[in-house]
């Protein structure tokens, strides 16, 4: 009897594995491709002052982070924006550094008198987007640095691009020039 039960469980588990595999494959959202010839690349560069407040820095606990002054700048197609102050290693333009938080601002954010305050850190963040036309609609999707650079290089000549989309076509993972 126990051999029959074991055999039943083995067969049942194989059947369950097959069913789950088929469901997984059919329910996975598609990642398609698009061919475009009207597009532009955007990179939003942001500088933000941030400070870590900790109860006891020797405990190795991270504490909580507070953000202070922040400024952003939009880069279009690799061109220098009007408010661009300096260009980084990746060809992106950055805004003027925001004012460093004052001692009064830093102390005002303390929640407990015994909290330790780290020195202010200037965070550099970048968000990349691609905007393109499809069936008369303008679509803007998040992307990555590699796609941004490919679009920037192709933009002046308006070289058609093949985009590889992310999950549910909600982002662009790759851009390749189409040789004509």
* Helix boundaries (H) for 28-116: 103-108
Quick: pLDDT tens for 67-111: 999 999 999 999 999 998 999 999 999 999 999 999 999 999 998
The pLDDT of 32-40, averaged and rounded, is 89
- Closest by alpha carbon to 133, among 60, 64, 63, 34? 34
**Cα-Cα-Cα-Cα dihedral of 146, 147, 148, 150, to 10°?**
90
Query: Could you tell me the pLDDT band of residue 26, with boundaries at 50, 70 and 90?
Result: very low
pLDDT for res 125: 98
Q: Please state, in angstroms and rounded to a whole number, the distance separating the CA atoms of residues 159 and 76.
A: 17
Q: Write down the pTM of the prediction.
A: 0.76
Q: Please state, in angstroms and rounded to a whole number, the distance separating the CA atoms of residues 36 and 158.
A: 10
pLDDT for res 114: 83
Is a pLDDT exceeding 50 seen at residue 24? no
Quick: pLDDT tens for 61-77: 678 999 999 999 999 99
Is a pLDDT exceeding 70 seen at residue 144? yes
Q: Can you tell me whether residue 7 is helix, strand or coil?
A: helix
Between the alpha carbon of residue 64 and those of residues 26, 106, 116, the distances in Å are 42, 13, 11
pLDDT for res 15: 58
The pLDDT of 136-142, averaged and rounded, is 95
For the chain, the structural domain boundaries read: 1-28, 33-177
Question: Which tokens in the block code for residue 143?
Answer: 């992307």
CA count, 13 A, side-chain hemisphere, 96: 4
Question: Which tokens in the block code for residue 102?
Answer: 């004052």
């Amino acid at each position: 009897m126990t051999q029959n039960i074991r055999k039943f469980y083995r067969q049942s588990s194989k059947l369950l594995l097959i069913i789950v595999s088929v469901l997984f494959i059919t329910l996975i959202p598609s990642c398609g491709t698009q061919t475009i010839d009207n597009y532009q690349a955007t990179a939003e560069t942001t500088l933000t002052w941030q400070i870590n407040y900790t109860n006891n820095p020797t405990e190795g606990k991270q504490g909580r982070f507070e953000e202070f002054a922040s400024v952003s700048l939009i880069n279009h197609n690799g061109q220098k924006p009007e408010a661009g102050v300096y260009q980084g290693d990746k060809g992106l333009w950055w805004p003027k550094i925001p004012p460093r938080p004052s001692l009064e601002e830093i102390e005002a954010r303390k929640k407990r008198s015994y909290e330790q305050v780290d020195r202010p850190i200037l965070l550099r963040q970048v968000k990349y987007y691609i905007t393109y036309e499809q069936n008369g609609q303008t679509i803007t999707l998040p992307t990555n640095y590699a796609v941004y650079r490919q679009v920037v290089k192709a933009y002046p000549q308006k070289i058609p691009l093949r985009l590889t989309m992310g999950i549910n076509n909600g982002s662009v993972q790759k851009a390749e020039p189409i040789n004509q």
